[in-house]
Amino acid sequence: MSKIKNIFINLLTAALLAAGSAGTALAQFTGDFSQAGGANFDGGDYDLGMGVAFYADNVYAVGLSSPSGAIAVKYDLGGTVVSSAVLAGVEIFTGVAVNANGVYLAAQGAGTGFVVAKYTADLTFISSAAVSGDSSARGLALGDGPGDVFVSGSNWGEAGGNYDYKIAKFDSGLVFQSSSAFNYGGMEEGGGIAFDNGYVYITGTSLSGPTTYFVTAKYDAATLSYIDYSTYSGTAFLAAAQPSTSRLAVNPVSHDLYLVASSSYTKILVVRYSDALAELGSAEFQS
């Protein structure tokens, strides 16, 4: 891979740790959240932030750092590194969510299947689990209370070559519960996922003919039964399918849903939906 240094997405910061140990910050970590450049890490090759979560006055950022692979780092509110970790056998952490039970990470690697890992609050490894199939776990959401763990991705190559969104459900101890797929009729690639008020929402892209669309689907969280879907009124890309960059966030008071994605190679798209997936508005930012 080409040498790319100091890639940031908001507070997302790639981090590196000596393999197998947690809680040790290396000299390559520089800066903090009070500085204009933020807290950052330069691993000397390809570093990429993929997800971030806030819990109990700490920030958890995940991504990759080549050649070490999947990495996670915990910061305090000032941007000082508290601990960090790598996970052998996977190439990248793609999503993170945290609650009182621990830190949950979605992960991808060559031939790994659908992977989710669990750590303590200080990033000490507890366990991991994998569902056979496409190595496409891209997002992660937690249910209410001790609740469930929902992982989003795709089922490419499974069940005779389907190309659909996939949701895998685990309990808090990473015991697999069930899975479900969403077929829009094209080549679907699952991306962001969110939980709210007893429902799970998954978004991503669907390549239908020459056009790729953003499609968001709603499921019952208890049964993973399909409820409804909505297609963004604009197009995602007028080209072949792109890597799914879409993410979801929910307002827990209004229950409105927010889709954030790239609507072109130079534009960031934000779409607001009601909890019934009615499109309420959108905005674009172009660099």
Task: Give pLDDT tens digits along the chain (287 positions).
Answer: 332 223 233 333 323 222 233 433 343 788 999 998 898 877 778 888 889 999 999 999 999 888 778 999 999 999 999 999 999 889 899 999 999 999 999 998 878 788 999 999 999 999 999 888 777 888 999 998 678 999 998 887 666 556 889 999 999 999 999 999 998 888 888 899 999 999 999 999 888 777 788 999 999 999 999 999 999 987 666 544 444 578 999 999 999 999 998 877 778 889 999 999 999 999 988 87
Give pLDDT, residue 18.
27
Nearest to 177 by CA among 187, 168, 189: 168
Give pLDDT, residue 287.
72
Nearest to 179 by CA among 132, 230, 138: 132
Give pLDDT, residue 16.
28
CA–CA gap between residue 251 and residue 258 (Å, rounded): 8
Q: Which amino acid is at 262?
A: S
Give pLDDT, residue 28.
78
Note whether 228 and 277 are within 8 A (CB): yes
Characterise 192 by phi-psi region: left (phi > 0), alpha (psi -120 to 50), beta (else): beta
Note whether 126 and 118 are within 8 A (CB): yes
Give pLDDT, residue 161.
56
Give pLDDT, residue 8.
30
Which residues have C-beta within 8 Å of that of residue 160, sequence separation ≥ 6? none
Sign of CA dihedral 210, 212, 218, 222: positive
CA–CA gap between residue 128 and residue 117 (Å, rounded): 4
Give pLDDT, residue 244.
53
Give pLDDT, residue 25.
38
CA dihedral 282, 220, 116, 2 (to 10 degrees): -20
Nearest to 228 by CA among 287, 266, 276: 276
Note whether 68 and 86 are within 8 A (CB): yes
Give pLDDT, residue 160.
57
Give pLDDT, residue 7.
27
Give pLDDT, residue 195.
97
Which residues have C-beta within 8 Å of that of residue 170, sequence separation ≥ 6? 116, 129, 148, 149, 150, 151, 176, 177
Give pLDDT, residue 10.
32
